[in-house]
Amino acid sequence: DTGVSQDPRHKITKRGQNVTFRCDPISEHNRLYWYRQTLGQGPEFLTYFQNEAQLEKSRLLSDRFSAERPKGSFSTLEIQRTEQGDSAMYLCASSLPGTSGGAGEQFFGPGTRLTVL
């Protein structure tokens, strides 16, 4: 399978605990994006990387959230001191470089569903 993969698929945690999610993009894609989706809503942008550089962060991304892409391949999203409002689906997507032309569509992974009790 050469698509975007995310791990774990489901995570249940207690309020106040830290959680970390992993995303493996399509291998030739240098852009990697994180979104959050709550039930019945469209995904909301969190942050994105070009290679290992974090180019943009949403104001939604509080200090409790941190994302890394240390070697320009996989990425991790960590949430510290989780709150019940963090319960959502966390989606990762990847795309080709902006210089490649074309649509540059983002390919999404299956998501990680987080439930904070």
Residue ranges that bind another protein, judged by CB under 8 A: 31, 33, 35, 40-45, 48, 50, 55-56, 58, 89, 91, 93, 95-99, 103-111, 113
Q: What is the rounded CA–CA span in Å between residue 23 and residue 47? A: 13
Query: Which residue, 44 or 52, has its beta carbon nearer to another protein?
Result: 44
At 58 the three-state DSSP class reads: coil
Minimum Å distance from CB 31 to another protein?
Answer: 6
Strands (E), 9-86: 10-13, 19-24, 31-37, 44-50, 53-57, 65-68, 75-79
Query: Which residue, 11 or 31, has its beta carbon nearer to another protein?
Result: 31
Minimum Å distance from CB 80 to another protein?
Answer: 23
Minimum Å distance from CB 79 to another protein?
Answer: 19
Q: What is the rounded CA–CA span in Å between residue 67 and residue 78? A: 6
Q: What is the rounded CA–CA span in Å between residue 28 and residue 56? A: 21
Query: Which residue, 80 or 108, has its beta carbon nearer to another protein?
Result: 108
Minimum Å distance from CB 92 to another protein?
Answer: 10
Query: Which residue, 91 or 116, has its beta carbon nearer to another protein?
Result: 91
Question: CB–CB of 109/5 below 8 Å?
Answer: yes
